[in-house]
């Protein structure tokens, strides 16, 4: 916590605005919209809820197809199933670990030939790094397919001077407890389309028709953020710049200490972009280093250090067995390679230098034993 959260929480209690909606919600929406440079924002209960609302606003239904990055957390794709639609997964590319424009182009061309274009493309900005939007946006525009930009992990990142999450029809942020700023749980849907976000508010508050009694003509959701949690978010947003600076410093320290080790590579950062470095992610070439990502993970766990594998690609998940998947290029499966070789190191904004150096020492000690 930043230390200023209680001010906004007290305001909520003193004014008796506790339940969903209230002055903190209104202010948090304005502040996020101003920060990222969009016309409108809607505060909701989670990033997953924001993706679901975006799909609902695009009127995606049973039988429709939605393209989605495969290297991501399951929450990026679950809302596709909520709508009864069919997910199609797109491989990563090596420069950002995000959606491959080459794979996306083949998928769109093939779908166009068969007269079955997707109703949306969900592009994920993995671990804070933006995808290659200057290639992805023109492709989607060419086929008139709207983009939902899943920036759940990339608030505070930028791509060619523009905020991550502002390139598509909709952008999505998450304030889950593990994100760079948190409201304990929560999310935000952003867009320049104010009319659609007005409808998002309607859907997110149980789709209550304007009537003196409770009347409902369409399916709605209980997705609005509470005034208390929005107060936490306002205080967190005030220190977002400090959090990004802290995470990038943590990344640079890891890189300085470990980058010279043959076989260890760090997640890249595109030129003219800035990642918030939500997590510091590396790949380990077992043939060169002599140990696997999982053996290092287990060794760190023995020292009470929690590291994590890179996300397991969604096309490999039992939930999505049999779904269509497009490779980056022929005979090159980037997402599976990253999963089998990747590792996320401890990266919390409050990670002390002393603790980080202990982590680095454990990695080096493990390496020396294996070598």
Which whole number is the average pLDDT over 84-92?
98
Residue 104: per-residue pLDDT: 98
- In this structure, what token pair is assigned to residue 165? 């999450």
**Element (DSSP H or E) covering residue 271:** none
Instruction: Judge contact between 197 and 38, C-beta under 8 A.
Output: no
- In this structure, what token pair is assigned to residue 149? 């930009």
Whether pTM exceeds 0.85? yes
Residue 291: per-residue pLDDT: 86
DSSP state of 23: H
Residue 21: per-residue pLDDT: 85
Which whole number is the average pLDDT over 223-234?
94
Name the pLDDT band for 110 (thresholds 50, 70, 90). Answer: very high
- In this structure, what token pair is assigned to residue 23? 């002055």
Name the pLDDT band for 4 (thresholds 50, 70, 90). Answer: confident
Nearest to 51 by CA among 150, 129, 135, 133: 150
Q: What percent of the chain is modeled with pLDDT above 90?
A: 89
Which whole number is the average pLDDT over 236-265?
96
Q: What percent of the chain is modeled with pLDDT above 70?
A: 99
Backbone φ, ψ for residue 68 (5° rounding): -150, 145
Least confident of 19-23, 143-147, 234-238, 311-315: 19-23
**CA 179 vs CA 128, 186, 354: distances in Å:** 10, 10, 23
pLDDT exceeds cutoff 50 at 359: yes
SS3 of 359, please?
helix
Residue 371: per-residue pLDDT: 47
pLDDT tens per residue across span 121-141: 999 999 999 999 999 999 999
pLDDT exceeds cutoff 50 at 64: yes
Which whole number is the average pLDDT over 228-246?
95
List domains and CATH numbers for the chain: 5-239 (3.40.640.10), 241-370 (3.90.1150.10)
Report the alpha-carbon distance of residue 216 to residue 206 in Å, rounded.
Answer: 8
pLDDT tens per residue across span 314-343: 999 999 999 999 999 988 899 999 999 999
Which residue shows structure tokens 């304990």?
184
CB proximity list for 346: less than 8 A, separation 6 or greater: 305, 306, 307, 355, 356, 359
Instruction: Judge contact between 31 and 295, C-beta under 8 A.
Output: no
Name the pLDDT band for 24 (thresholds 50, 70, 90). Answer: very high
SS3 of 334, please?
helix
Which whole number is the average pLDDT over 144-150?
98
Name the pLDDT band for 228 (thresholds 50, 70, 90). Answer: very high
Report the alpha-carbon distance of residue 342 to residue 122 in Å, rounded.
Answer: 23
pLDDT tens per residue across span 182-199: 999 999 999 999 999 999
Residue 369: per-residue pLDDT: 65
């Amino acid at each position: 916590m930043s230390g200023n959260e209680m001010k906004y929480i007290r305001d909520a209690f003193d004014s008796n605005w506790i339940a969903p909606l209230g002055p903190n919600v209104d202010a948090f929406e304005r502040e996020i919209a101003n920060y990222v440079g969009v016309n409108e924002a809607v505060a909701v209960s989670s990033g997953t809820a924001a993706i679901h609302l975006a799909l609902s606003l695009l009127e995606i239904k049973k039988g429709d197809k939605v393209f989605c990055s495969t290297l991501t957390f399951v929450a990026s794709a679950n809302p596709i199933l909520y709508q009864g639609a069919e997910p199609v997964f797109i491989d990563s590319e090596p420069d950002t670990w995000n959606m491959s424009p080459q794979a996306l182009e083949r998928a769109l061309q093939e779908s166009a030939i068969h007269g079955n274009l997707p109703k949306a493309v969900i592009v994920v900005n993995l671990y804070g790094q933006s995808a290659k939007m200057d290639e992805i946006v023109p492709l989607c525009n060419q086929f008139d397919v709207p983009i939902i930009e899943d920036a759940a992990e990339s608030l505070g990142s930028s791509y060619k001077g523009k905020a991550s999450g502002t390139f598509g029809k909709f952008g999505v942020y998450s304030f889950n407890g593990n994100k760079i700023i948190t409201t304990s749980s929560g999310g935000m849907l952003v867009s320049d389309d104010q009319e659609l976000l007005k409808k998002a508010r309607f859907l997110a508050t149980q789709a209550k028709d304007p009537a003196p009694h409770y009347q409902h003509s369409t399916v709605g959701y209980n997705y609005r953020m509470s005034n208390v949690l929005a107060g936490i978010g306002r205080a967190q947003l005030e220190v977002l710049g400090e959090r990004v600076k802290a995470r990038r410093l943590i990344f640079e320290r890891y890189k300085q200490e470990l980058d010279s080790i043959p076989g260890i590579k760090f997640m890249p950062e595109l030129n003219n972009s800035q990642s918030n470095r939500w997590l510091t992610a590396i790949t380990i070439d077992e043939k060169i280093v002599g140990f696997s990502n999982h053996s290092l993970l287990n060794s760190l766990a023995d020292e009470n250090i929690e590291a994590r594998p890179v996300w397991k690609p969604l096309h490999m998940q039992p939930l999505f067995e049999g779904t269509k998947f497009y490779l980056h290029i022929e005979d090159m499966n980037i997402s599976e390679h990253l999963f089998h070789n990747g590792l996320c190191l401890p990266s919390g904004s409050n990670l002390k230098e002393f603790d980080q150096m202990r982590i680095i020492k454990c990695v080096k000690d493990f390496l020396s034993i294996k070598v």
